[in-house]
Structure formats: structure tokens, C-alpha cells
Structure 1
């Protein structure tokens, strides 16, 4: 009988530990999706300020968008994409994502060098927004589901990604 009660006690201890681990924080994909949502909101805010012709306001938001996207892309390229590449074996999908990042970074660099009253400023922001929406759609409908199916260590990746994101954000301030 003592053996039975020990085996009954062990699963009871493991179960709360597992749920506590999951409750401790989001997984890597949830973090990335949260970033996507944040940037979408910022793009909407940019559009409102642009319509009001609030140059200073839209430039502030544009710089925030550029910083968020730069940090997000770096974390994906350094941590998430290599793990996904090893787990899902979808080189075409990941190669395309990296090319999209490179193009977005080029647009970001152009925007950061421009004056907010430049007639091309809003156009570049619009193209960046559309480009990011396309990229996000592919990640969320193709790459992320494949990554979940592959049973990647998404919780472990999340911890690594959050640490790296904090480092990158600290470098920007």
C-alpha cells in the first residue's frame, strides 16, 4: 500500500508544476503574435496622426514602429528562425521570411533618415505597413502552425527571446 500512495502522490505533484510552468509566461509564438498586434496598433495610430497632419506625432510613432520591428526581426532571426529551421525543415518558408526582413529593414532605414514632412514619408510608411501585414499573415498561418506541430521547445525559446529583446531595447535607449 505505501507504494500505491507514493505513485498517487507523484502525479499530483507533477501536475501543478506543469501548469505553473505554463502559467509562468507565454510561449515563443505567443510573444511573436503579441509583437505583431502591438505593431498593428501602432500603424493604426500612425494613420490617424497622419490624417490630422500631426508631423511630430506621426514621426514619434514611426520611430517606435521602426524600433519595435527592428528588435522583433532580430529576435526572430537570431533565436526563433534557427530553431524553426531545425524543427520544421521548411527552408523555402524561412528563406522567404528572412528576405522579407531584409526588405523591411531597408524601408526602416529609409524612414529613419527622412524628415516627417517629406512627401514620400507617408508612402514609405504605408508600404512598410502593407509589407509587414503580408509577412505577419504568412508567419501566423504557415510558419507558426508548423512550429507548433513540430513540438519545438516554445517555452524555452520564449525565455531566451525575452532576454534578448530586453538587451536590444536597452541598447536603443
Structure 2
């Protein structure tokens, strides 16, 4: 049975991650325009937090959410696109993590990563989540628990 709109499901959990990382990108953007002495160090820390959050999020989608949908859906083109988007984001994440000093290119890479993620989130919200919620027999509430447990494991802390 499809989960009701009021019940927290896998899509709700993933979208909560989307909203949290959006706030991190906003905080980074605010810092990018700051002239505070410690802004450079804060940007570096915030960028690393963004990269970690996105890496964990992509991992739980790729290990649990996408395979379950790929099995349940007839039309998987949106999933293929999402996986390509993940690959592009992972490439930028690797570039950002390899940099030790936040400079103009660092800011540009974080900004472009944010734009990639905005696009990816819109596609998930508008295409993938509605399809997932419409699939009969796909228990998104149970999947939420599985995603959360894996997320906690990857984060190394209670979420």
C-alpha cells in the first residue's frame, strides 16, 4: 500500500536532508561574501560539512532507495539521470575536498555544486518521489527506517 502523505516515509527523510543541505549552502554563500577574518576557515569547515552530508545522502540513495525503485518501477529513466547527477556531484565533491585553501575557484566549485544539488532535488521532488509513493507494495515507511539506520552508521553518530 502506498504510504499516506502524513506519514514520514523514505521520501520525507530524503527531502529533510535536501532542506538541511540547502541551509548549509545558504550559510556558505553568506560566508563567501563576508570580510570577517575567520571567514576563510569557516568556509573550509562548512564546505567539508556540505561534502560529507551529500556523500552520506548519495550513498543511502544509491545503496537502498534507487535499487528498490529500479526494481519496482517500469520507467527508470529518471533514476538513471539521478545517478548521473550523483556522479557529477561526487566529482565536484572530490575536487572541493582536495583543496586546502578556499579561494575563488573553491567558492565557484561550492556554488556550482549547490546548483547541481538544487536541480537534482527538483527532479527528485517532482518526478522520483511521486512515482515512488505511487508504487503498490513498496513500503516507503519501512525503507525510511532502513535509510535512517544506514545514515546513522555512515555519519558515525545518532541522527
Pick from 157, 160, 163 the counterpart of residue 146 of structure 2: 160
Structure of larger gyration radius: 1
Contact 2:24 2:50 survives alignment (8 Å):
yes
Runs of 4+ in 1 over 6 A off after TM superposition: none
Contact 1:58 1:116 survives alignment (8 Å):
no
Normalising by structure 1, we get a TM-score of 0.82
Distance 2:101 2:141 in 1: 40
Distance 2:126 2:85 in 1: 16
Pick from 23, 27, 32 the counterpart of residue 45 of structure 1: 27
Worse-matched range after superposition: 54-63 or 132-141? 54-63
C-alpha deviations, 1:29-78, integer Å up to 9, x for none?
00000000000000000001111041111111111100000000000000
- Uncovered stretches (5+) of structure 2, i.e. residues with no partner: none
Bigger RCO of structures 1 and 2 (CA < 8 A, at least 6 apart): 2
- What is the RMSD computed on CA atoms of the aligned residues? 1.5
Q: Does 1:34 align with 2:16?
A: yes
SS at 2:156's partner residue? helix
Q: How many residues align?
A: 148
Q: Does 1:127 align with 2:109?
A: no
